[in-house]
């Protein structure tokens, strides 16, 4: 059973150092004279498996640890306790604007992320497919991404992420800001990716989307998995609870 | 450059070292390398917070890339320096080639310090500002533009506790005096460089998993 598991979490606990005293400089530290860091557990004893080709939805309230869970999968956050096994490549996290350098232009960002994924920077086909999919014009892509609206950022990040043919696609709340046309385009693309047998982790506050797309789902609350099972049941539960 | 000229003009009249220009500039180029690397990379982790948050890239690459680009600059400087110092009485010999291991040792030492500063800077954002203010003090406490005797006669501890002093001394043996440095000096510098790298990497690896909570 463990062989076909693409993502395997075993008793994972993730804790952040939380600096809730407002001590952000040596000056503050000297006047404050206490250790300003408290350890805050974000995820507590999380265990689950995602099989190849499975599409899992992650539901939960704001601050329940969804993004931290995705970061742990992406390897950006290391667990304090427990182990994470990933057998495959992961596309960048699709939070709005994450991974983009705001000072660089759209084109430079595309090149940067392509090269970080071990592809040639000047891969013309890849750049063109990203550009076509995002629907952003040449002029827009030549301006620094700090001038982009959140919808434009979402378009760019989504396009870059699906262009890397990784085994695991992580989608974190991006679709909320795009316009109708782009949302449909994205959903179509997600279904296409799913048909190709890739694994998708889908975070959304819309249980309807999760129900349509996902096979299984987990419900996070306060850093623990409270419920786990088929997508429809979990979505109904989510709507009932919150 | 202007800074360099002023130092040379002011201190030259005050000190009675022969071949003063070679003495001062040989120390200065190493100091400038040290100052550039630390200043450039101190904010390297904060500046790449977007990538660190989204991708699983070894964090150590960010200060390392700054360091390597500065090292490349430094190597070019060394070539120009070697040619320009022809008019200020540098003695060309095979001893000059020992500048290669010296540069590597100094780069390792600098990288160790850099790792400490750039990781602390994530949690306390004024580390970078403090470092830029402390830096001139360290510069004038290191016998770079003036003879060592000024400090060693009266305050030997100030020099002995300054790790950069040993590297400046090592490099001056080669460039200024044109001799092969003593084994003792080599040993001191190697211990300092590896020690600083170990301390730096230890602090860095203890803090690196929590960078994300403060970025």
- Within-domain flag for B10: no
- Please state the domain extents for chain A: 53-241
Please answer yes or no on whether B50 and A100 come within 8 Å at the CB atom.
yes
Q: How far apart are CA A153 and CA A119, in angstroms?
A: 22
* Interchain contact B13–A (C-beta under 8 A): no
Q: Are the C-beta atoms of residues A239 and A81 closer than 8 Å to each other?
A: no
> What would the pLDDT profile of B89-121 be if each residue is shown by its tens digit?
788 888 888 899 999 999 999 999 999 999 988
For residue A76, give the nearest of B48, B55, B214 by CB distance. B55
Q: Please check whether residue B55 touches A, CB under 8 A.
A: yes
Residue B193 pLDDT class (50, 70, 90 cuts): very high
How high is the pLDDT of residue A2?
44
pLDDT for A74 beyond 50? yes
Q: What tokens were used for A224? A: 């623990």
pLDDT score recorded for residue B109: 95
Per DSSP, what are the bridge partners of residue A59?
A219
Residues of chain B with C-beta less than 8 angstroms from the C-beta of A29: 124
Of residues B202 and B147, the one with the higher pLDDT is B202
Q: Is residue B205 in some structural domain?
A: yes
Contact A159, A130 (CB under 8 A): yes
Mean pLDDT of A123-135: 80
Lowest mean pLDDT among A219-228, A230-239, B8-17, B73-82: B8-17
Distance from CA of A236 to the nearest CA of B (A): 31
Q: Which residues have a Cβ under 8 Å from the Cβ of A45 and sit 6 or more positions away?
A: A11, A12, A13, A81, A82, A224
B125 vs A contacts (CB less than 8 Å): 24-25
Highest mean pLDDT among A80-94, A171-185, B33-47: B33-47
pTM of the model: 0.81
- Residue, of A24 and B184, whose pLDDT is higher: B184
Domain that holds residue B130: 18-48+55-214
Q: Which residues of B touch A74 (CB under 8 A)?
A: 54-56
* Tally of CA atoms within 13 A in the half-sphere of A15 that contains its CB: 11
**Rounded percentage of chain A residues whose pLDDT exceeds 90:** 0
Per the CB < 8 Å rule, is B54 touching A74? yes
Token pair, residue A74, equals: 């992406």
Contacts of A24 in chain B (CB under 8 A): 123-125
What's the half-sphere exposure (Cβ side, CA atoms, 13 Å) at B68?
Answer: 6
Q: pLDDT tens digits, residue range B134-191?
A: 998 898 888 888 888 878 888 888 888 889 999 999 998 888 888 888 899 999 999 9
* pLDDT digit string, tens, across residues A160-211: 877 776 778 887 766 666 677 877 888 888 888 888 888 888 887 777 778 8
Which of A26-40, A132-146, B113-127 has the largest mean confidence? B113-127
pLDDT at site B214: 77
Residue A116 predicted with pLDDT over 50: yes
Task: Output the pLDDT for position A24.
Answer: 73
| Residue A9 host element (H or E) | strand A5-19
Predicted pLDDT of residue B178: 84
Which of the 8 DSSP states describes residue A18? E
Residue A134 has pLDDT above 60, yes or no: yes
Average predicted confidence (pLDDT) for chain B = 87
Residue in the block written with tokens 């929590």 = B210
Dihedral sign (CA A17, A22, A28, A30): negative
- Binned at pLDDT 50, 70 and 90, residue B30 comes out as very high
User: Which two tokens mark B157?
Assistant: 């501890």
Residue B213 to residue A17, Cβ atoms within 8 A = yes
Q: Rounded to an integer, what distance in angstroms lies between the CA atom of residue B105 and that of residue A22?
A: 39
Block residue for tokens 């306790």: A81
CB contact under 8 A, B56 and A74: yes
A8: alpha, beta or left? (left if phi > 0; alpha if psi -120 to 50): beta
Q: Is residue B173 part of a domain?
A: yes
Alpha helices per DSSP H over A104-179 = 106-116, 124-134, 138-141, 150-163
Residue B170: the pLDDT is 92
From B47's Cα to the closest Cα of chain A, the distance in A is 9
Contact A101 B50 (CB under 8 A): yes
Q: Return the ∠ at Cα B127 (arms to B121 and B132), rounded to 5°.
A: 130
pLDDT band (50, 70, 90) for residue A3: low
Residue A26: what pLDDT?
75
Long-range own/partner contacts, residues A143-149 (CB < 8 A, 24 or more apart): A143/A105, A143/A106, A144/A102, A144/A103, A144/A104, A144/A105, A145/A97, A145/A100, A145/A101, A145/A102, A145/A104, A145/A105, A145/A106, A145/A109, A146/A102, A146/A103, A148/A97, A148/A106
Count of domains for chain B: 1
How many CA atoms does the CB half-sphere of A190 hold within 13 Å? 27
Confirm whether the ipTM is greater than 0.90.
no
**Chain pair A-B, CB pairs under 8 angstroms:** 62
**Mean local confidence (pLDDT), A47-61:** 82
Per-residue confidence at A49, pLDDT binned at 50, 70, 90? confident
In a domain, B34, yes or no: yes
Does residue A77 register a pLDDT over 60? yes
Is A100:A109 a contact under the CB 8 Å cutoff? yes
Is the Cβ pair A102, B50 closer than 8 Å?
A: yes
Mutate to test the interface with B, among A14, A19, A20, A26 (most CBs of B within 10 A): A26
pLDDT for the residue B200:
94
pLDDT mean across residues, chain A:
78
Task: Tally Cβ neighbours within 10 Å of residue B28.
Answer: 19
Please state which of the four CATH numbers 1.10.3720.10, 3.50.50.60, 3.40.50.720, 3.40.50.300 is assigned to the domain occupying A53-241.
3.40.50.300
- Would an 8 Å CB–CB cutoff place B126 in contact with chain A? yes
Predicted pLDDT of residue A1: 40
Find out whether B143 and B159 touch, Cβ atoms under 8 Å.
Answer: yes
Residues of A with CB under 8 A from a CB of B: 16-19, 23-29, 71, 74-78, 90, 92-93, 95, 97-102, 116
Determine the average pLDDT of the residues in A127-141.
Answer: 82
Picking from B55, B61, B120, B215 by the largest number of A CB atoms within 10 A of its own CB, the best residue to mutate is B55
Does pLDDT of B49 surpass 60? yes
* Count of residues in chain B: 215
Residue B78 lies in a domain: yes
**Residue of chain B minimizing CA distance to A41:** B213
DSSP conformational letter for B22: H
Residue B178 lies in a domain: yes
Instruction: Give the C-alpha separation, A170 to A94, whole Å.
Output: 6
């Amino acid at each position: 059973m463990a062989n076909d598991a693409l993502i395997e979490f075993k008793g994972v606990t993730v804790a952040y150092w939380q600096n809730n005293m407002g001590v952000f400089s040596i000056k503050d530290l000297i006047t404050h004279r206490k250790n300003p860091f408290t350890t805050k557990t974000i995820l507590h004893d999380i265990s689950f498996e995602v099989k190849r080709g499975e599409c899992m939805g992650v539901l939960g309230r704001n601050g329940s640890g969804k993004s931290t869970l995705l970061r742990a999968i992406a390897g950006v956050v290391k667990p304090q306790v427990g182990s994470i096994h990933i057998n495959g490549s992961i596309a960048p996290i699709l939070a709005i604007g994450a991974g983009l350098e705001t000072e660089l232009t759209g084109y430079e960002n595309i090149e940067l992320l392509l090269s970080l994924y071990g592809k040639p920077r000047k891969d013309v086909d890849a750049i063109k497919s990203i550009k076509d999919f995002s629907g952003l014009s040449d002029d827009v892509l030549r301006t620094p991404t700090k001038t982009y609206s959140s919808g434009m950022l979402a378009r760019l990040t989504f396009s870059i992420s699906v262009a890397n043919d990784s085994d695991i696609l992580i989608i974190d709340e991006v679709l909320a800001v795009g316009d109708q046309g782009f949302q449909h385009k994205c959903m179509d693309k997600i279904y296409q990716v799913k048909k190709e047998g890739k694994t998708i982790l889908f975070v959304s506050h819309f249980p309807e989307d999760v129900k349509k797309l996902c096979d299984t789902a987990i419900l996070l609350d306060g850093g623990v998995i409270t419920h786990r099972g088929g997508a429809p049941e979990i979505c109904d539960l989510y709507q009932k609870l919150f | 450059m202007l800074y360099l000229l002023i130092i040379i003009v002011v201190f030259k009249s005050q000190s009675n070292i022969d071949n003063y220009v070679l003495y001062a500039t040989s120390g200065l180029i190493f100091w400038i390398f040290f100052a550039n690397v630390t200043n450039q990379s101190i904010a390297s982790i904060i500046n790449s917070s977007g990538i660190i948050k989204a991708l699983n890239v070894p964090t150590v690459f960010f200060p390392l890339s700054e360091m390597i680009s500065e090292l490349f600059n430094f190597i070019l400087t060394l070539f120009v320096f070697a040619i320009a110092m022809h008019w200020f009485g540098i003695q060309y010999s095979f001893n000059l080639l020992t500048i290669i291991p010296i540069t590597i040792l100094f780069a390792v030492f600098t990288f160790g310090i850099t790792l400490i500063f750039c990781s602390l800077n994530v949690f306390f954002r004024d580390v970078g500002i403090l470092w830029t203010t402390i830096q001139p003090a360290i510069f004038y406490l290191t016998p770079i533009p003036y003879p060592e005797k000024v400090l060693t006669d009266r305050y030997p501890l100030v020099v002995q506790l300054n790790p950069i002093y040993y590297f400046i001394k090592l490099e001056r043996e080669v460039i200024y005096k044109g001799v092969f440095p003593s084994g003792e000096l080599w040993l001191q510098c190697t211990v300092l460089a590896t020690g600083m790298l170990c301390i730096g990497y230890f602090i860095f690896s203890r803090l690196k998993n929590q960078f994300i909570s403060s970025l």
